[in-house]
Amino acid sequence: MDTNYIISTDGAKIAYHITGQGFPLLLVHGSGHSKELWQNLGWIDSFQNHFTTISIDIRGNGESNKSYDPGFYSIDYILDDIKSVIKASGFHEFCYFGHSYGATIGLQALASQLPIRKAVLASSMFGDRFFKKIVPAWIKEYSSYQDKKKNGELENLKVSEEDLEWIERTDLNLWIAQFKAWTHWNGVSIDQIKSPLAIYSGRNDNKAVLMNLEHNKIELKNHGIEIKIFEELNHSELVTKKDICLPWVIENLLTSS
C-alpha cells in the first residue's frame, strides 16, 4: 500500500495507510511496531469487507517523525495526529482498534470524546497506576540498560538472549523519551467512557492488566463495557494470534458500526 502523510498541529509528519471500503476503522499499533503490523498479520485483509481501514504510525514509530524530546509525545499531540489523519481520509466518525500502547491511546481518545462510534482495545488499564507506578519503573530499568549499553557492559545484564539482542539493536533513548511523556498523562476512569467499548486480554497477559480488569469487573459491566479474557494468550498474541481473536473483535466492532 502507498504511504500517505499529514502534517500535524505541531509540524510533525505522520504516516498512515488507507484501504478497503465501508465505515472507517482506525488501527493503532503497540510500542515498537508500525502500521505494517496490521497488514503483515492479516488483520487488514480480514477487515476489508467490513471497513475502510486506516492504519497509523504513532509518532516516534515507523515512518512518522521521531524526537528525543518527551514533550513531542504529549497526548494532545497524539490525539491531534489522529484527528488530522481521520479528516485527511475524508471522515469524521470512526471505529477504533488498538493494541497495548494503541489501546492506551484509545482510552485517552475515548475520554477526550473523539467521535468514536465503537472501540475495541487489546490490553489496557483504567486509572493512574500505569502512568504513575509502572512507567517510572520502566524509565529506571531502560535507563540502566542504556547506561550499560553505552559503557559496553551489556554482558552483565541478567536477561534472555532474545531480550539482549533487542536491547542491542534498539534506540533505547527514543523509548525513554516516550516513557517520560507518559508520566504526564492522566489515567482514564470508567465513567469517562461515553462511546461503546469492548476490551480483551489473555490469561498470560501482563498481570497488572488482568488485575485491573478483575478489580473493575463489576463497574465495567454496569457501564456496558464488554470484557473477554482469551485462555493461554500472552500480550503479543492478542494481535499475532489473529484467527483466535478476530471473530470476537469483528463481532464487537460491527454491533455499533
In a domain, 245, yes or no: yes
Q: What is the mean pLDDT of residues 32-41?
A: 97
pLDDT tens digits, one per residue of 101-113: 999 999 999 999 9
pLDDT tens digits, one per residue of 229-239: 999 999 999 99
Q: Give how many domains the chain has, as a whole number.
A: 2
Sign of the alpha-carbon torsion through 75, 71, 182, 59 = positive
pLDDT at residue number 256:
54
| pLDDT surpassing 80 at residue 63 | yes
pLDDT at residue number 257:
47
Domain membership of residue 10 as a residue range: 4-127+187-254
In a domain, 119, yes or no: yes
In a domain, 182, yes or no: no
On whether both 195 and 212 belong to a single domain, the answer is yes
On whether both 193 and 169 belong to a single domain, the answer is no
Q: Mean of the per-residue pLDDT values for the chain?
A: 96
Q: What is the mean pLDDT of residues 241-248?
A: 98
State what percent of residues in the chain have pLDDT above 90. 94
On whether both 194 and 117 belong to a single domain, the answer is yes
On whether both 96 and 142 belong to a single domain, the answer is no
Q: What is the mean pLDDT of residues 69-73?
A: 98
In a domain, 33, yes or no: yes
| pLDDT surpassing 60 at residue 152 | yes
Q: What is the mean pLDDT of residues 214-228?
A: 97
pTM of the predicted structure, to 2 decimals: 0.96
pLDDT tens digits, one per residue of 162-199: 999 999 999 999 999 999 999 999 999 999 999 999 99
On whether both 78 and 138 belong to a single domain, the answer is no
